[in-house]
Structure formats: structure tokens, C-alpha cells
Structure 1
Amino acid sequence: MTRLLDHLVLPTADLDVARARLARLGFTVAPRGEHPFGTENRCVYFSDGTFIEPLAIADRPAADAAVAAGNVFVARDRIYRQDVGPEGFSAVVFGSADADDDHRRYVQAGISAGPRLDFSRPFIDASGRSDTASFSLAFAAARQMRGTFVFACQRVNTPRVDRSALEAHANGSTRIAQVVAVAPDSMPMTDFLSVAADAGEAAQADKLELPNTRIAVMTPSFYAQQFGLPRETRETPVFAAIVFSVRDIDATRRHLVSGGVDHDMRGDRIVIAAAPGQGAAFIFEEHT
């Protein structure tokens, strides 16, 4: 069965900068979360269970130790920061009911990025109540990917906290409607994503339909034409943009104007180029 989108990983140099940028864009940002291997996040959650994860380095020695121990999550993040920079969009994450099974699939398909990872971390809701979140991860990457990767995430223990206050956003965003990847040749990237998501016939030449979103794979020239953004110059496949569904595009635009956020109207879309703390281009579309 085709996997659901779980979340997206956005490396950043400074979580405080990311929080301020995302808040200015109209997102409600969760309290800081710390991983046991030297990274930290401040997530933006949506009511369908998906989220975006701005990710920073909190403890360099702990991250060094994690890389040395074979932690794929921290190792790929480090490669991404070295090759691309401290700001960006490094990973698409699929939901998993069995990370062991996904790891076996990735190994058999020749796309495994390394050993599985199990970990737990505290979770704090908007009122300060806490619980423990536990995860099992399985990693995959296409041969030509440097730093960029995907992984399957099994939520072994889901925190019993009220997240509703974190899922309401002043810009009206309700969900991640589309993820945009850019590749010189769309077919190999689509094929890779199809295997990673166990999608089978859900994949087409330039897009992958998941039960809760779509991943579109565009050539650099089509990406620039479609969104009016600079042409992607990297020669390897990259994740480049996130499309958010909003209830009222005019209300979203008014919020951005009141916050002094630079943006472009592109037909019925609002397009905001990547910025520090916002590693991908953000695009808002009205969906009923």
C-alpha cells in the first residue's frame, strides 16, 4: 500500500531564526524538541498529522559521535550541510507501519542509505504538557543524491498530548498539498520515490500520488517557468518547494502583506522564495 507523507525535513542554521521566519509567514511553531544525537527541531504541525521539521545542530560533539556510530539521519544531514549549506530541504519522510520491513525493501531494491535507527525524545505541547515520542526509521537514497534522502518513519509511541493549538495557523494553512522535487531527468527520480513509498502504479512519469499529497518531479526549466523562481542549477535531484493548501488565498495574502513578507502572485498562487529559516520555496494555493 502506498505510504502516506509523514513530514519534511528543512535544515537550518539557527532555530530561533527559523521560528521567527515561520511565525512571520503565519505558521504556529511548536516548542523546541531535542534529539538524543545532537540535533534539535521546532516543528510546524498540520491537522492531518503531517508536519515540517526545521532541523538544527544543538550539540556538535553529540552529533560527531552519532555520525561515528553510523547514525544515518545525522550523517546525511551533515553531508547536506557540507554540500548545499546550512539552509535547505533535505528529506521527504513517508509513514511506516513496520520500519524493519521498509528497511528490507530498501536493501533488496539497492537504495538503502544505511542501518535503521530507533530513538525516543520528549514532546511538549503548547500548554507545556509533555510525553515521550518514539520512532523507528529506515533510510533510502538514490545513488546520485548527496545529502538529500528519504526515510520511512514508524511512530512507535505517539504522544498523548493535545496538538490542536499547534495545528491552527494564522495564514490559513491546513495541509501540505504538494512537494516539488527538481531533477535534470524526472523519470529516475520518480522511479526512486515510487520504490521508497511502495507506490507501485501510483507513480507516473513526473509525479507520485500519495494518499494524502502529491510529489511532483520537475525539470529545472519547467520549475522556473511554473513558479517564477530561479532555475535550479544543481545537477543532482533536489527537493525544492512545498505547496500548502489554504482556505482563503486572499486572507493569506493579506496576512503576508501585514507582516511585510515579500511574495509574488503567480496566477492563483502565492509564491515565496526560500530564505534563512525557510529552506524551501513556499507556495500557497486555495483548495476547497
Structure 2
Amino acid sequence: MALKNVIGIDHAVVVVKDLDAAAETWKRLGFTLSPRGTHSAKMGSGNYTIMLDPDYIELLGILAETDHNVPTRNFLAQRGEGIERIAFTAIDSAAGAEEIRSHGFEPIGPIDFERPVPLPDGTISAAKFRVFQWPVAEAPGGLRIFACQHKTRETVWIPELMTHANAAKQLKQALIVTPDPAKDAAHLSRLIDCEGRSEADGAVTVASGGDRADFVFLTRDQLAARYPGVSLAGLPERGGVGLVLASHDLATTEKALGAASVRSGASIVVPPASATGTLLAFVAG
């Protein structure tokens, strides 16, 4: 990636209707979840995190309606549960915001916020962030993007939260369905100044940077061909729909997921109906 202050995918934001019910769903899939976090009154949201290495998944729910969370509420009303946003890691959010401005995109922010974090020793600390967004209208494949600077990584990547019964290790791909993969991939490429590459099946991959997960833009038919036997019921025609995760051990993954998953080619897959609107594909890695 040519951007100097923004590196690859940091986390995927899965928006859910009922935050605590969603947490129980993901726990049943063998994930270890952080204690529930509550954001500021202005943000009006709460979350659970699923910590991987070097990235994570965030389950985000609306706790109170505010001006700040209008886009998220609109997403839930129009799409339902699923991947609403993808965050990049920002080395320096203020410099990153200026960097995308120099590329012709007016940033939103940066803004600072924090949430309380219960630590394993029983004390309470805080997770502190500085974030900025690309313009809301700049959503390639219907997926909003932003960048997150972690000011207190030690209160987010807590070792006790990083081991999962399903052997999840890290994110490998974020899957975005679209009728026009090439067009939407090119849109993302412009936003992050990174070229895409065409795949044999017609999908287009855009690297997010470094050793972080890739973005993969593909049609719904191409998604179905990649994961035969997996129900795609409930997925939109355009938007973020799935995450590919590396597993330490696929046999462990398959055992932990049980009847919630199906074997599809070399992947163990949880259909979106069983994971709050998000297809989860586990691969060896």
C-alpha cells in the first residue's frame, strides 16, 4: 500500500441487532469473546471483540439512538445483520487523515474515544483509540472503511482472549459481493492507493497491506462456486458478506463448530444464517 500512515486490515465490524444474543451465537461457534464494552454516549453503541493475531472481529450493537450512529442504524434497517465496515490499522490517524485528503478524499475525523476494559486481574483499565473515516459515500461494494489507531494495544490484545476453541488464528480475506467486482475493486484501490489483481474465477483481490487480510470482490455466483453446498440465504447482492479465517487445526475447527458448519472443498464453512449474517470460512493456516 502506498499510504504511509495506514497499514492493512485491523478488524471487521459485524453489526448486530441484539448485542448479547449475538455474543452467545458466536460463543457457540467456539470463539472467545471479550467482556461487553460500552462506547461513549455520543456513539451510543456497545461491542464484543474476538481477538485474533494481528487482527480481530468486532460485534457492534446500537444501545441508544444518536446522530453519530445513524449510518449504522440505516444499515441494519436496510440490510440486516452483517459486515458493515472494515477498519485499517492507522499508525498515526491525524497524519493518515491528511494523507487521504492529499489524495482527494475529505476525511471524517480524526476523533478520539475510549471504553472501559475489565482486565483478567479484576482491575478496570481503558481501551483508547483515534479513528478517521473515508467519506461515507466512498463505500466500495457497499462497504464503509475507516482507520483505527490503537493508543493502548495492551488493553485490546489481551492474551487470555486470543485462544479460541475453534482454533481461529487470523483473518485471511474479507469477502465482498457485487455485480461488478472489477469496478468496486478499482474503487477501493483508489481509496487506499493499492492495485488489485484478477483471479481465475473472475473475482478481484485487493491487498490491504503487509501480512494482513486481503479484500476479495466477487459476484454472488462466484461466491457460491467457491463454497458449494453452503446456503447463502440472507446475503445481499452487494456488500460485505464473509470472512475467511486461518485455523491452527481444521479438525479442531470442525469438531468445535459441529452441526453449525459444513465442509466445502478445503474449507469448513459456517453459513451466514448461523453467524449473524456473516459467512465464515475456516482454512488451514
| Interval of TM-score (by shorter of Structure 1 and Structure 2) | 0.7 to 0.9
Query: Structure 2 stretches of 5 or more lacking a match?
Result: 199-203
SS at match of 2:276: coil
Alignment of 1:117-266 (within 5 A): 117-140=111-134, 141-143=136-138, 148-160=143-155, 163-198=158-193, 200-201=194-195, 203-205=196-198, 206-209=204-207, 210-211=209-210, 212-228=212-228, 229-230=231-232, 234-235=236-237, 237-257=238-258, 261-266=259-264
Taking the aligned partners of 1:253 and 1:276, their CA distance within structure 2 comes to 15
Q: Give the one of 251, 268, 271 matched to 1:270.
A: 268
TM-score by length of 1: 0.84
* CA deviation vs aligned residue, 1:107-147 (integer Å, no higher than 9, x gap): 45455474432212222234433322221211124556697
What letter matches 1:249 in structure 2?
Answer: L
Relative to 1, partners in 2 of residues 1:195 and 1:271: Cα closer, same or farther, differing over 3 Å? same
Kindly state the Cα deviation for residue 231 of structure 1 after the two structures are TM-superposed.
7.5
State the number of aligned residues: 269
Percent of residue pairs identical: 26
What letter matches 1:95 in structure 2?
Answer: T
Contact 1:135 1:155 in 2 (8 A): yes
* CA deviation vs aligned residue, 1:48-99 (integer Å, no higher than 9, x gap): 2x111101112x2xx32xx1xxx3xx232122112112x1110110001122
Range moving further from structure 2, 117-126 or 176-185: 117-126
Relative to 1, partners in 2 of residues 1:127 and 1:243: Cα closer, same or farther, differing over 3 Å? farther
Alignment of 1:101-120 (within 5 A): 101-112=95-106, 114-120=108-114
Kindly state the Cα deviation for residue 46 of structure 1 after the two structures are TM-superposed.
0.9
Query: Structure 1 stretches of 5 or more lacking a match?
Result: none
SS at match of 1:255: helix
Contact 2:62 2:73 in 1 (8 A): no
- 1:78 aligns with 73
Kindly state the Cα deviation for residue 232 of structure 1 after the two structures are TM-superposed.
7.9
Contact 1:94 1:197 in 2 (8 A): no
SS at match of 1:256: helix
1:54 correspondence with 2:59: yes
Relative to 1, partners in 2 of residues 1:178 and 1:127: Cα closer, same or farther, differing over 3 Å? farther
Contact 2:37 2:47 in 1 (8 A): yes
Relative to 1, partners in 2 of residues 1:39 and 1:189: Cα closer, same or farther, differing over 3 Å? same
TM-score by length of 2: 0.84
SS at match of 2:133: strand
Taking the aligned partners of 2:142 and 2:39, their CA distance within structure 1 comes to 19
Between structures 1 and 2, the one with greater strand share: 2
What letter matches 2:197 in structure 1?
Answer: Q
Taking the aligned partners of 2:158 and 2:17, their CA distance within structure 1 comes to 26
- 1:26 aligns with 30
Q: Give the one of 89, 94, 99 matched to 1:95.
A: 89
RMSD: 2.5
1:284 correspondence with 2:256: no
SS at match of 2:246: strand
Relative to 1, partners in 2 of residues 1:32 and 1:207: Cα closer, same or farther, differing over 3 Å? same
Contact 2:261 2:271 in 1 (8 A): yes
What letter matches 1:19 in structure 2?
Answer: A
Taking the aligned partners of 2:220 and 2:187, their CA distance within structure 1 comes to 18
SS at match of 1:137: strand
Taking the aligned partners of 1:8 and 1:38, their CA distance within structure 2 comes to 19
Contact 1:224 1:232 in 2 (8 A): no
Contact 1:94 1:153 in 2 (8 A): yes
Kindly state the Cα deviation for residue 175 of structure 1 after the two structures are TM-superposed.
0.6
Contact 2:260 2:274 in 1 (8 A): no
